[in-house]
Structures are given as C-alpha cells and as structure tokens.
C-alpha cells in the first residue's frame, strides 16, 4: 500500500540479504549482497543498491547495479565465487568506498565511487605497508567486511569468520579467536595497525567470556551512538543478530544482548528454532538511527532454503543504560505504527509462518514440501512483476501478521488457489479467540473468499489457521 512500509520492505521479487543501512545526506541507502531467486548458492547476483528518503521509509528506489563480479580479477564463474556481504563508508576525501570480498579468496577488496549509489570502480585489495595483501600470510580467513569511520576521521575495518568443524575453501582457517579489527590509512587500502582481536570470541574461545551461547560467527558491523561503540554480528546460532559494546572501536567489547531473531527465539518463552515463530536460517544486518528512532535491519529466509533471502527491518527500543531490547519481528517494521485496517496486503508480508510440525532451521538443500508452507514466487529470478505468495498451505498451517489498527475494520477476504477444502480460522492472536471463519474450496485459479468479522478493534495481530484437506497458495488478503 502507498505510504506504508511493510516487511519485507523492498518489492517481493528482490532478494537483498546482509543489509548495511547508511544515511548519506537526506537518504537512507541499503547496501547488501544479492541473492538469486531459487539460486543454487549464496549471493549469486551482482551488487545493487536501494535507497529511500528519510521522510518516507516506504518509498524505496532502485538505484541499479553498483558493482559487477566481472570487475574483480577473481570474478570468474562458479557457485562459490560470488560477491558476498559488503559494506560502504564515506572516506576522508568525500568519496564512497565499497568494501567487499569475492569467493573464498580470503582477500578484502575495495571499490570507489563519487556517489553512494553510483557505479563503483575497483581500487585494489587491503594490504600491509610492505604491499603484502591482508589474508595471504597464512592468516585467518577474511570474511564479511564491516567498515566504520570514526568522528576523528580514522577508518576501521572489521572482519572474521567462526565456523567449527568443517574445512574452508583454499585451505584458509576459521577465526577461532573471534572478530578482528584493522586501522586503515586515508588511502582506504593500507593497514595502519592490526589486525587485532576485539574481544568478541568465536565458539572455541567463548567459555568464561560472557559470550557463551551468543558466540561470534560472522557479519561484522560497527555503529556509534552517544559516544559508545556497538559491534553488531551474527551469532553462532545463525538466526539472531547480537551486539556488544565498548568505549573504544578496538575493544575490548562486552556482550550487550540479542537485537533480533528471525524466529523471535528468545521472546515470549521461545527457546529454539523448532518452536520459532518462523522458519529460520542465517541472518546479517546492522542498526541505523533516523531522527530519534533506532532500527535493526536483518534478512529472512524464503523458498525453503538459505539462498533466496529478503531484507527486513524492525524498530528498536534503547534503554536508559544504552542497551537495546530484543526487537519483535513484525509485518510493519519501518512503518513506526500499525498498518491500516483497510486495504489489500500481500500474504508474503507474514512475520509468523509455521506448519503442523512447527518450524525449523533451513539448510542448503530443499526438503520435501508435504507439510511445510513457505514463501515463494512464480517463474525465474527477475527485477519486476512481484507476485510472491505463501505456498503449500495445508492442515495445521499458521500464518501471522503484526500489527494492524482494526478500529474501522468490518470484513476480511483472502485470495487463494489450490485443491484444498476446509476452513481458515481468523483470530487476533495465535491460538486466540476467533473473530471470523472463512470456508475454503478447491479452485484452479485465484479466487476471493470472504468472512464478516466480529470483535475487531485497536492494535492487534492477524492470524490465519487452516484446518482441512489438500493444499493452497495464499496470494493476498483485503481488510474492509
């Protein structure tokens, strides 16, 4: 709907995970990797950029491709030779610098542009003063660069990768000690000092540090608010973004907590991905402050694996002590308020999706789909004509949306297709009191089914639970 921000906040044909939000002048820019719908691996497409005016976070504009894999000397074809999670900063010369890595080369490279969403040209690879490339001296694998420019103009580069128990490409080794930091010279390529460890340990070194259970895995990102440094990272659990704080950009850092879990694990007694509010997988993102509001950007999973991920965001609450409460995943994150109780919404903005066997952590192989609902689209990867929907809705499927203003809502209709026969129960909370029932019958083409609702008022969630036989695709719903 025009003028309202929903999750995912980009068009539903767009798959931009690993999002780094940055404000340059009067616009918010999202930089990330670029998944291919129904891809065979992570980040198979070239880097693109999206931006929105700070005054309207629903009005995202496609800025186009900003850097292509073919511009890098290592950019040959291959599933594992993709452009992975990047970051961008404004350098001391006023230009914009894209820090990226390609494949498992273990090398962090840099491209430069005169505009934040302009076409970036490769500058070179991060190196020591003697010219040796960072990551080429039997060093831990350089991975997921995060770049930060402090108030004094000093640039810091953060990297690291903390898997346990499996080999890495090219013989590189994991970062057992955790996240690393380098100071960079003004040329944005030469290491001034480092790399050094910042006190955010990976799993093998986390015992007794305060990070146990939320160990560093990947996705380094740095922010600074009110003089305090916030290191954001994806934990070993995968489904959550955590943060740590310090009085110095080089640490040592102390665990702050969880910013967001893409299955709300950690909220309302949800203890594991098998009981999560959504199917989970890895996530990656960071924080941005807009006026007096804080938002955490992250990505969700679609299409029953980890290779078609989409950008989402939620509003954060900062406590008086400078810490953040864990955000709840919603359908209205950047909107700052509940969605209107009138209008048509894509079914794919659901923030809660589970099957009769609950949820699980997605792997890299698609499972049989007999009992699992999932987000998907028709056709191949593209940059137009969004038609994402919730597929394979069957007996026991729960689809939830948060939140709406229902003060003026009198009826609900849903647009479905499939061979199902049964009822959709409508409620304003999971397993809550019914406010409507929608009979569903088999239809080969999309068809609208209607229900008059009762007891709808105020801010509330919207849940659909199907009971019956067969399966259907859920395209959209209309509140009137």
- Look at residues 284, 304, 335 and tell me which one is the last residue of a structural domain: 335
Q: Model confidence over 315-347: pLDDT tens digits?
A: 999 999 999 999 999 999 999 999 999 999 999
What is residue 195's predicted lDDT score, i.e. its pLDDT?
A: 94
| Same-domain pairing of 328 and 345 | no
| Same-domain pairing of 361 and 323 | no
Identify whether 3 is part of a domain.
Answer: no
What is residue 138's predicted lDDT score, i.e. its pLDDT?
A: 75
Catalytic hit among 18, 20, 35, 46: 18
Identify whether 257 is part of a domain.
Answer: yes
What does the angle CA 75 – CA 282 – CA 400 come to, to the nearest 5 degrees?
130
With H, G, I as helix, E, B as strand and everything else as coil, classify residue 171. helix
18 is annotated as an active-site residue = yes
Which CATH number covers residue 437? 2.60.120.260
218 is annotated as an active-site residue = yes
- Rounded Cα distance between 430 and 228, Å, is 39
Identify whether 300 is part of a domain.
Answer: yes
Identify whether 385 is part of a domain.
Answer: yes
- For 155, the domain range is 20-335
What is residue 451's predicted lDDT score, i.e. its pLDDT?
A: 86
In the block, which residue shows the tokens 């209309």?
A: 478
Q: Model confidence over 111-138: pLDDT tens digits?
A: 999 999 999 999 999 999 999 999 877 7
- Rounded Cα distance between 154 and 181, Å, is 13
| Same-domain pairing of 324 and 357 | no
| Same-domain pairing of 47 and 152 | yes
- The secondary structure of the chain in percent helix, strand, coil, rounded to multiples of 5, reads 5, 45, 50
Identify whether 225 is part of a domain.
Answer: yes
Structurally, the chain folds into a number of domains equal to: 2
- Look at residues 277, 304, 335 and tell me which one is the last residue of a structural domain: 335
For the record, the structure tokens of 334 come out as 């950047």
* Global pTM value: 0.96
| Same-domain pairing of 54 and 161 | yes
Tell me which residues of the chain have a pLDDT lower than 50: 1
Identify whether 96 is part of a domain.
Answer: yes
Q: From the centroid of its chain, how far is CA 455?
A: 35
- Rounded Cα distance between 211 and 245, Å, is 12
| Same-domain pairing of 290 and 401 | no
Catalytic hit among 72, 183, 215, 218: 218
- Look at residues 278, 312, 335 and tell me which one is the last residue of a structural domain: 335
Identify whether 9 is part of a domain.
Answer: no
Biggest alpha carbon–alpha carbon distance for the chain: 73
| Same-domain pairing of 120 and 249 | yes
| Same-domain pairing of 289 and 329 | yes
| Same-domain pairing of 364 and 281 | no
Which CATH number covers residue 167? 2.115.10.20
What is residue 1's predicted lDDT score, i.e. its pLDDT?
A: 44
Residues 212-234: b if buried by 16+ CB within 10 A, e if exposed: eebbbbbbbbbbeeeeebbbbbb
Answer yes or no: are the C-beta atoms of 87 and 62 closer than 8 Å.
Answer: no
Name the phi and psi angles at 166, rounded to 5: -145, 150
| Same-domain pairing of 234 and 271 | yes
Enumerate long-range contacts of 23-27, CB under 8 Å, 24 or more apart.
23/54, 23/288, 23/290, 24/90, 24/96, 24/116, 26/53, 26/54, 27/51, 27/52, 27/53, 27/54, 27/116
């Amino acid at each position: 709907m025009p003028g309202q921000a929903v999750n995912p906040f980009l068009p539903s044909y767009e798959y931009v995970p690993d999002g780094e939000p940055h404000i340059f002048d009067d616009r918010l820019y999202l930089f990330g990797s670029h998944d291919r719908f129904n891809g065979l691996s992570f980040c198979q497409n070239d880097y693109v950029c999206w931006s929105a005016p700070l005054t309207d976070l629903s009005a995202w504009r496609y800025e186009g491709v900003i850097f292509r894999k073919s511009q890098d000397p290592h950019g040959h074809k291959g599933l594992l030779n993709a452009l992975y999670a990047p970051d961008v900063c404004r350098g001391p010369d006023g230009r914009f610098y894209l820090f990226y890595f390609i494949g498992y080369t273990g090398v962090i490279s840099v491209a430069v542009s005169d505009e934040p969403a302009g076409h970036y040209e490769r500058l070179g690879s991060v190196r020591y003063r003697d010219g040796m490339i960072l990551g080429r001296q039997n060093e831990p694998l350089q991975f997921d660069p995060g770049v930060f420019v402090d108030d004094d103009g000093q640039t810091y580069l953060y990297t690291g990768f903390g898997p346990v128990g499996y080999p890495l490409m090219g013989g590189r080794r994991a970062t057992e000690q955790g996240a690393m930091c380098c100071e960079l010279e003004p040329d944005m390529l030469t290491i001034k000092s480092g790399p050094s460890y910042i006190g955010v340990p990976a799993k093998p070194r986390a015992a007794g540090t305060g990070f146990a259970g939320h160990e560093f895995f990947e996705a380094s990102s740095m922010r600074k608010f009110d003089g305090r440094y916030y290191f954001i990272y994806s934990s070993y659990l995968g489904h959550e973004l955590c943060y740590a704080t310090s009085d110095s950009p080089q640490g040592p850092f102390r665990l702050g907590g969880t910013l967001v879990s893409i299955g709300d694990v950690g909220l309302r007694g949800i203890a594991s991905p098998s009981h999560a509010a959504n199917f989970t997988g890895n996530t990656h993102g960071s924080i941005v402050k807009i006026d007096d509001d804080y938002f955490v950007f992250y990505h969700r999973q679609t299409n029953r694996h980890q290779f078609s991920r989409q950008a989402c965001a939620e509003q954060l609450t900062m406590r008086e002590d400078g810490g953040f409460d864990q955000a709840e995943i919603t359908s209205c994150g950047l909107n700052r308020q509940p969605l209107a109780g009138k209008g048509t919404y894509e079914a794919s903005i659901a923030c809660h999706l589970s099957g009769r066997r609950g949820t699980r952590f997605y792997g890299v192989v698609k499972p049989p789909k007999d009992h699992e609902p999932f987000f998907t689209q028709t056709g191949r990867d593209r940059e137009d004509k969004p038609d994402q929907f919730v597929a394979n809705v069957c007996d026991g499927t729960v689809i939830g949306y948060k939140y709406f203003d229902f003060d003026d809502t009198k009826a609900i209709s849903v647009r479905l297709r499939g061979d199902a026969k049964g009822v959709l129960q409508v409620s304003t909370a999971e397993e809550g009191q019914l406010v409507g029932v929608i009979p569903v019958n088999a239809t080969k083409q999309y068809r609208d089914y209607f229900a008059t609702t009762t007891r709808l008022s105020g801010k509330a969630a919207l849940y659909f639970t199907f009971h019956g036989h067969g399966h259907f695709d859920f395209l959209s719903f209309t509140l009137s």
